[in-house]
């Protein structure tokens, strides 16, 4: 059933033992939203546990400070920023299938796997929704909670640079700053600072950039060999996703990365009317209008070809020479 934020808040307030789930391969929004909710609900006396099937990257550790991960049999299982139950990771998917009572999310591609779904596809981040939910229940927003949410708000909008950014995004960001979010350090960490190994990977990735469809599409491909040569690894590769779309005139930017099993994951970023989620949906992936992803099988050339076919269809539909 589709529900609104007020109803989602009621469901949370009516449960005393709540398990919050973040998606595998976690990002700032799923973790920032889940931990903010955890801090606020703990302060209201609830027993809360945040679970993620993958290790937490060290930049997100601050979110978990002061959070007691209670052991209990949950009365409510809530998935936060998780569009598809598959995104919880294989093991968690099996474990929680049919048991998720609430989902709070902003992906238009949400698969409606939960009993109650609070979905706002126009919200730039789930963190914006959680901020409003916390306001709704008059929850305390500490500087740490504000920092968790500010991380979600900024990372899902590329620091307010993506087309999903709205006036509300800036308003909520300003409110979070007033509440004590550590804005300077969060922006430095997620948008400025890079490791030397990442800089080396970025150089190799830029070298791999190829253009298609009269330079309207740019593709970079990160291979396992590049990780070895740069000293980098999968944990840093997400930050490359926006690179191809930064080139002037490019409408569709693709970052492909080789997985350990030899298959490829593609991140698709688009401008204007070109729908990244439509491209990825046809390849069994999903996401948003401007940012989406999918997994591609086969050799590198097969993977690129199947993606280019879908991109061409989408470009042809919107671009008239
Ligand atoms: Mn999100």
Considering the chain, what is the average pLDDT of its residues? Answer: 96
User: Which whole number is the average pLDDT over 285-290?
Assistant: 91
Distance 115 CA to ligand 1 centre (A): 20
Kindly state the helix (H) or strand (E) to which residue 219 belongs, with its residue range.
Answer: strand 217-222
Whole-angstrom CA distances from 61 to 35, 43, 135, 233, 295 are 11, 20, 25, 19, 28
Cβ–Cβ under 8 Å, residues 60 and 155:
no
Mean pLDDT, rounded, for 147-174: 97
pLDDT band at 321 (very low <50, low <70, confident <90, very high): low
With both helix axes pointing from N to C terminus, report the angle between 167-178 and 143-155 in degrees, rounded to the nearest 10.
150
What pTM does this model have? 0.91
Cα of 31 from ligand 1 centre, angstroms: 9
Contact 30, 22 (CB under 8 A): yes
Kindly give the distance from the C-alpha atom of residue 269 to the centroid of ligand 1, in angstroms, as a whole number: 15
CATH architecture of 5-188: Alpha-Beta Complex (3.90)
End-to-end CA distance of the chain: 44
Q: pLDDT for 114-150, tens place per residue?
A: 999 999 999 999 999 999 999 999 999 999 999 999 9
Question: Which of 30-39, 133-142, 311-320 is predicted with the least confidence, judged by mean pLDDT?
Answer: 311-320
Rounded Cα distance between 26 and 20, Å, is 13
Q: Judge whether 5-188 and 196-318 match in fold.
A: no
Question: Rounded to 5, what percent of the chain is helix, strand, coil?
Answer: 45, 15, 40
Query: Mind listing the pLDDT tens digit for each residue in 212-249?
Result: 999 999 999 999 999 999 999 988 898 999 999 999 99
Distance CA 209, CA 10 (A): 49
Please state the domain extents for the chain: 5-188, 196-318
67 pLDDT above the threshold of 80 = yes
Q: Is pLDDT of 26 > 70?
A: yes
Mean pLDDT, rounded, for 270-294 = 94
- What CATH number belongs to 196-318? 3.10.310.30
Measure 150 CA to ligand 1 centroid, in angstroms: 12
Alpha helices (runs of H) in 162-217, residue ranges in sequence order: 167-178, 183-187, 196-207
């Amino acid at each position: 059933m589709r529900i609104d934020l007020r109803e989602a808040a009621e469901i949370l307030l009516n449960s005393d033992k709540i398990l919050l789930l973040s998606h595998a391969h976690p990002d700032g929004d799923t973790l920032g939203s889940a931990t903010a909710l955890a801090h606020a609900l703990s302060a209201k006396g609830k027993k809360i546990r945040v679970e993620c099937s993958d290790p937490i990257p060290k930049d997100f550790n601050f979110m978990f400070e002061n959070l007691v991960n209670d052991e209990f049999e949950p009365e409510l299982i809530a998935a936060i920023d998780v569009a598809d139950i598959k995104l919880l990771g294989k093991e968690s998917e099996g474990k929680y299938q049919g048991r998720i009572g609430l989902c709070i999310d902003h992906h238009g591609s949400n698969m409606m796997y939960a009993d109650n779904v609070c979905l706002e596809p126009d919200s730039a981040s789930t963190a914006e929704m959680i901020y409003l939910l916390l306001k709704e229940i008059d929850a305390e927003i500490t500087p740490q909670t504000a920092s968790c949410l500010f991380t979600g708000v900024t990372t899902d909008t590329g620091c307010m640079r993506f087309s999903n950014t709205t006036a509300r995004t800036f308003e909520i960001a300003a409110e979070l700053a007033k509440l004590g979010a550590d804005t300077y350090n969060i922006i430095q960490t997620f948008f400025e600072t890079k490791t030397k190994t990442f800089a080396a990977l970025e150089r190799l990735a830029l070298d791999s950039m190829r253009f298609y469809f009269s330079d309207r599409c740019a593709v970079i491909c990160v291979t396992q060999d590049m990780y070895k040569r740069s000293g980098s690894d999968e944990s840093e590769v997400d930050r490359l996703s926006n690179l191809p779309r930064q080139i002037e005139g490019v409408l569709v930017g693709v970052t492909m990365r080789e997985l350990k099993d030899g298959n490829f994951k593609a991140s698709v970023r688009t401008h204007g009317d070109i729908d990244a989620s439509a491209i990825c949906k046809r390849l069994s992936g999903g996401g948003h209008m401007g940012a989406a992803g999918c997994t591609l099988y086969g050799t590198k050339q097969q993977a690129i070809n199947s993606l280019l076919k879908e991109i061409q269809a989408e470009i042809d539909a919107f671009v008239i020479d």
